[in-house]
Amino acid sequence: MGAFIEKRKVDIWDHRRNTRRPVPGSVRYKVLVNADHRCELCGVDASLRALEVDHIIPKSLGGPDEIDNYQALCYKCNTNKGNRSDIDLRALSEDYDKYETKCIFCNHIEVIAENKLAQAFYDKYPVTKGHILIVPKRHVNGYFDLYQPELNAINRLMRELRTKLMTEDSSITGFNVGTNDGVDAGQAIMHYHLHSIPRREGDAGNPTGGVRGVISE
């Protein structure tokens, strides 16, 4: 073994030091469940290839040990990703604090639920009872400008609120979930927001087509 290490000029166990603190089992379980036990990059099932819990924003670049900064990657995708990134992440933590003083969503005070990166409140002009808007705390215009941890946080909050609404209101039988991205798509407030709209049997004459109904024939 000594001759092997000497030949390679490297400690063959160095890779085990890359993760300073192991991810707790309960957190790992949540990450894998959220990913449906598939790699969130290539989609391979956990039964075919071992999955690892990866920091979306690498720890070496300031990424936090938080559920919304974790993703499930197979060992191949995780190895290929490493701590490389094509964007400058040095000021990312400051970017998350970005807000606009005149934006009504940045300054909304009637928050009904929140986590570190997202918050939710009832729509001022609801389509149905329980119509909720979920927004990132960072001021960002559209869906395609969101960071992956923000998407994780928004989706997690949406699922929690869906469960809460359905527990409190047994008449809810479905949801329309969607977003308007850009003025020509109907976006009126330029701070990304996700609509979660509860639906009930008989609340529309013909619900076939769902969100396609926003464009008249």
Strands 118-122 and 113-114: antiparallel
189: its two tokens: 């407030």
71 CB-near residues (< 8 Å, 6+ apart): 31, 35, 40, 53, 54, 56, 148, 152
Adjacent-strand bridge partners of 178: 195
Burial of 127 (0-12, 13-18, 19+ CB in 10 A): middle
Residues constituting the chain: 217
Cβ pair 31, 71 in contact under 8 A: yes
Gap between the Cα atoms of 148 and 152, Å rounded = 6
- 139, 191, 193, 195: the catalytic one is 193
Active site residue 193: yes
Gap between the Cα atoms of 215 and 217, Å rounded = 7
Residues labelled as active-site residues: 193
